[in-house]
Amino acid sequence: MVDVLDSENITGVQKVAIFLLSMGEEYTMKVFDRMNEEGISEIGVAMSRIDRITPEMLKTVSLDYVERFEGETQMIVEGEAFLKNIISSSMDKERADAVFDDLEKKKQETPFIWSKKVNIGTLASYMEGEHPQTIAMVLAHMPSEVASEILMSVPDDQKGDIAMRIAKLGQISEDVVRDVDKALRYELSDAVGPGGKAGGLQVLVDIINSVDKATEDSVMEHVEEDNAEMANEIRNLMFVFEDMVSIDDTAMREILKKVEGQQLTYALKTATDEMKDKIFSNLSQRAGDMLKDDLDALGPIRLAEVEEAQQTIVRAAKELEADGTIALGKGKDDVLV
């Protein structure tokens, strides 16, 4: 896979890769001699994905290159071949093979990431006849927002069983995961616009956090009957809309930046007074007054729309937590003193 680079948004690693590709093999060999395998591997992935360097990219990396490659011409490079020659020449065969293996793994696309581009109805219909264990394995490796949509489409009498299988799913061989990924992607090729991950409670919780209330109730009822202790663990791990009342104000303001006005209005339709106070206290006077006016003017709406708005806000919060912008905590163990 070749990266299409934007000269305005080249990452640090890509800048190093562009610089080394421009400097040539001999210079790069000397640089690699001074680096560890992890660093070589990271830069190597970036180098192998570059097949051309534009003047704009060179200018971003170094003003010296503007003088050498000015104009609209492009320098064509064989990133893959260049990288292999450098690695093979700068280290012994055993170390080189280890770096090559690591490069290949890092270059592979995350399994089932393509599912984000597939019509959910098509994907759900195709999986309908699969064994529950297969469905559980696939859902555990899909992005949680896709997996939740599919779980909601599963017949009610199967939701709990599949959820339990996800929670109990152990480590799956990377080869098995990629084989299933490849087969399913091939079957759904017309609909399509690193190591095998384990299932487990957190995977299930991420999925449940994005499903509708009916599906959540159905799943939790089944889990409660099958394993009350597990059901309690899941509830402790789950983060729902009302849990945001306990997060700090700085985190709340970051979340509100990502929320559209209508979503917030809908989400507060059934919110507790405490939750509403939390929201309003983190809005400007003007934004708060506008929100209150919107709430007062809001007529009856479907509960499903309220729940969807609340789930959207929860997903935004969890995305911010995932990238390290905020911390979400539940319970005394998460209190900072």
pLDDT 10s digits, 163-214: 888 888 877 777 787 788 777 777 766 544 433 444 567 778 777 777 777 7
Going by C-alpha positions, the residue among 224, 207, 200, 174 that lies closest to residue 318 is: 207
pLDDT in tens, 46-104: 888 777 777 777 767 665 444 444 444 444 445 556 666 667 677 777 777 777 676 66
- The amino acid present at 260, given as its one-letter code, is E
Q: Quick check: helix, strand or coil at residue 244?
A: helix
The pLDDT value recorded for residue 8 is 61
The tokens of 133 are what? 């264990």
**Which of 1.10.579.10, 3.40.50.10170, 1.10.760.10, 1.10.220.30 would CATH assign to domain 113-237?**
1.10.220.30
Q: Please say whether the beta carbons of 267 and 306 come within 8 A.
A: yes
- Which pTM does this prediction carry? 0.38
The tokens of 321 are what? 């937590």
Q: Please say whether the beta carbons of 306 and 242 come within 8 A.
A: no
Q: What is the CATH number of domain 241-334?
A: 1.10.220.30
The pLDDT value recorded for residue 6 is 58
The pLDDT value recorded for residue 105 is 61
pLDDT at residue 106 is higher than 80: no
Domain ranges of the chain: 12-107, 113-237, 241-334
HSE at residue 48, side-chain half, CA atoms within 13 A, is 22
pLDDT in tens, 130-148: 888 888 888 888 888 888 8
Going by C-alpha positions, the residue among 110, 161, 111, 109 that lies closest to residue 136 is: 161
Tell me the C-alpha distance between 147 and 281, whole Å: 35
The pLDDT value recorded for residue 107 is 53
Is 113-237's fold the same as 241-334's?
yes
